[in-house]
Chains A and B, each alone.
Chain A
Amino acid sequence: MTTPWHDLAGDPHDLLPGFLLDALDPDESERFTGHLPSCAACRAELAALSDTISDLASASHVAPPSDVEDQLMASLFGPSVSGGTVDDDAEGIVPAVTPLASHRRRWMWPAAAAAAFILGAGLVATTGVLHVADTSGQVVADGEAQLILDVTSAPDAHFMPLDLPQGTAKLVVSSGMNMGAVMATDLPMPASGREYHVWTVMADGSMKSAATFTPDTAGHVSVMLHTGVNDAAAFMLTVEDPGAAHPTGEMLAEVQV
């Protein structure tokens, strides 16, 4: 039997077993992955041994607690479970998967996410293609609640009061997470059919829809911003018709970063 493994000192082929077993130091690992593209023998050997390793890996089966699956699905799909249409879903998937990469978020889905957040546990989401567990409303709320907790408890959380005529609201941002949230108490309901709308104002003056919400009956709000915060020059709170693409309504507050 031929072997591509040589015993020469420092030979990258020598690193293959350690690579397969995740037993390399980072620099060794880098050296091996650098070597791999140019070495068909190593690639073939890796492929040939991969089943052996995955047999070894799969020898012990232990069913994880069922809430692990729930948490996983919520963390991946929570904010965009609510899309309601196939298009929203397709647009929303990538940003929803990587909550920390909020600069990749498109601002067409915050309205849907906020709507789901408001509708809460009663919402059953079907995307037209996929059926999502009927707890999806709760999942959305839990996923968002967890993110809000993460932002507000971030070591670099920065709280900025929003000066409102009625009620108390604040914006909290974490530059480490590149995320922000709005929290309010005693916020009055907007005029019938209207909603609060947060806009992220960029340095060049352009604006991105960051969140929409209406308070609950007690006037409480806690909602994530669906834009990044690190490139923002300011945030603005207005009242708009649902789904507004640009701020046109009454401006309630603005806070400079």
Chain B
Amino acid sequence: MDDLDRKLREAYTREPVDTRGLERSIRAEIRRQSWRRSALRFASAAALVVAILGAYWAARRSPEPKLYRDAALDHQAEVVQKAPRRWRTTDSELDTLTGRFGLTRQRVAFSEYRLLRAKVCLLDGRRVLHLVYSSGGSEYSLFLLADNQHVPTGEARIDAEYIEGFDGAHKTGLVVSDGPGADCRRFTETVALANL
């Protein structure tokens, strides 16, 4: 180090610096920021807990909206608007199809309601047996899920469709009708009494 370097260094370090006030101010700001950070973390954690509880409560309370919505759309398109689908209508076809769901054609035949046709479809990604019945001037859809699948029970109206979920002894499913809610409820009771 030459003389210039040494002198410059001495001159530079000789200049007094009082950092006490600055350090106090830095520490105070750090404490403030730490507190804010902790508060923010606490608030985020609390918000997350509230959101989880809310979602859990909503899931417990309301029927699965997607499953119900899909059932309503299927009924509207395939039953009300008669969109072309490959329905099974003969006795032998119905025997085969119901057999795949652990049922028989006789078990899904209800007095007062005539089984018209059936097919397999997907609701909310789940494989479902779609049975269509008629009584008087109305048609009803009965969607039966494969074994061990739970459907939250409840009733809902989506657009013109009335939907009711049921949880039977062995089968769970949805009943959909575009008629009055009372008619749909009566059909649901009939299905429930059949102890599927």
- The answer to whether A and B assemble together is no
**Which residues of chain B have a CB within 8 Å of any CB of chain A?**
none
Chain A contacts to B: CB under 8 angstroms: none
